[in-house]
Amino acid sequence: MRILISCVLLVILSLGLVFALEQAPFGSNQIDNADKPGRFYLNQGMEKTGAANVVTSVVVTYRGFDTLGEVTILFIAAIGLGAVFHSRKKVKRYEKEKQSASLILQTGCRFLFPLIVLFGTYVFIHGHLSPGGGFQGGVIIASAFLLLFLGCEEKKIPMKSMNTVESLAGIIFVGIGLAGLYWGESFLENFLPRGMDYMLLSGGVIPIIYIAIGFKVGAELAGIVAGLIERNP
């Protein structure tokens, strides 16, 4: 019964969606107009911000407020998870007969861990030059911590310093935004010189913000993973 009803509804929905999408004038003709943001970003984004990756300049400056919100959402998820899992009485460590990882895996993890972290750092530092950026880099770093968890369970993430990193990174983000308000004209404005194109030192505040985002996202996701793994029912 339920299956029938949902099938009928979904068929209507999908037909409507596909039909409407087919009818809609999507595609290239839409951003040709110069007052459309997309075209503007492509034409002038590089000159204004100095970031070769236009997506990055959009993410960090033009739509930087979205990014702030997005970082906030991850932050919410991290502390929300902490709040949900909080229990006053310390649950005694309840060990299901846990299989420890094989030596190969442990060694491999330990060997790879710094490399992956380095890679994550690379991704977010080069966010304005190549694909990737704060989130991707942060996720890679968090994944490195996840790997550490999976491989060698004796390694613990120092939650306190993670929190500090998270907090500091968030404050730096907001602070750069406010600095833009102070030295420039608007929140999150690019107030540093934009540097030479295609070089590491270009893009004004973008690398700085991306470093902050990278640290923040990495710390938050690592915190989330740690919270999930360390939950003992």
Partner 1 sequence: MHIAGMIAIGIGVLFLFLGSFGIVRLPDVYNRLQAGTKCTTFGCLFAVLGVGIVEPAWFWKALLVSLFVLLTNPISNHALGRAAKKSGVPLWDGSVVDKSRDFPSYANTEKL
Partner 2 sequence: MVAVLLIIVPLGLAFAMPLFNFVSKRIAAYLPIAAMVCNLILSILLLPSVMENTRIVILGGLPPPLGIHLVAGPLGVGLSGLISLVGLAVSIYAWGYIKQGAQDKYHALYLLLLSGATGAVLTGDLFNLFVFYEILCISSYALVAYLGDRNGVESAVKYLIQGSVGSGLILVGIAILYGMFGTLNMAQIAIHIDNVDSPALFLALVLLVTGFGVEAAIFPLNAWLPDAHSSAPSSISAILSGIAIKVGIYAVARVLFTIFGVAVVFQYVLLLGLATLLIGEICAFSQDNIKRMLAYSSVGQVGLIVFAMCIATPDGVGAGLLQLVSHALSKAVLFLGVGYLVARSGSMSLSSLNGIGKRMPVVCFACVVAAFSLVGLPPFVGFAGKFLIVRAALAGKSIFFTVLIGIVFLATVVEGAYFFRMVQTLYFKDAKRQIEYKKVPASASIPIMALVVFIVALGVYPDVLLPYLKSAAADLLNKAGYIKEVLG
Partner 3 sequence: MEESLEQILELSLTLLMLGGAVCACVFKDLLNAVIAAAFVSLMAAILFYFLQAPDVAMAEASIGAALTTAIFVIAIKKTKRVEEE
Tell me which residues touch partner 3 (CB under 8 A): 53, 55-56, 123, 131-133, 135-136, 139-140, 142-143, 146, 150, 221, 224-225, 228-229, 231, 233
Is the Cβ of residue 117 or residue 139 nearer to partner 3 in the bound state? 139
Query: From partner 2, partner 3, partner 1, none, which one binds at residue 101 (CB under 5 to 8 Å depending on kind)?
Result: partner 1
For the CB of residue 56, give the shortest distance to partner 3 in the complex, in Å: 8
Contact yes or no for 169/213 (Cβ under 8 A): yes
- Pick out residues in 100-139 that bind partner 1 (CB under 8 A): 101-102, 104-105, 108, 111-112
Distance from the first to the final alpha carbon of the chain: 36
For the CB of residue 205, give the shortest distance to partner 3 in the complex, in Å: 19
Q: How is residue 5 written in tokens?
A: 């009803």
For the CB of residue 9, give the shortest distance to partner 3 in the complex, in Å: 16
For the CB of residue 214, give the shortest distance to partner 2 in the complex, in Å: 16
Q: Is 181 exposed, middle or buried (0-12, 13-18, 19+ CB in 10 A)?
A: middle
3-state secondary structure of 134: helix
3-state secondary structure of 197: coil
DSSP state of 127: T
Query: From partner 1, partner 3, partner 2, none, which one binds at residue 163 (CB under 5 to 8 Å depending on kind)?
Result: partner 2
Torsion of CA 82, 85, 90, 94, to 10 degrees: -120
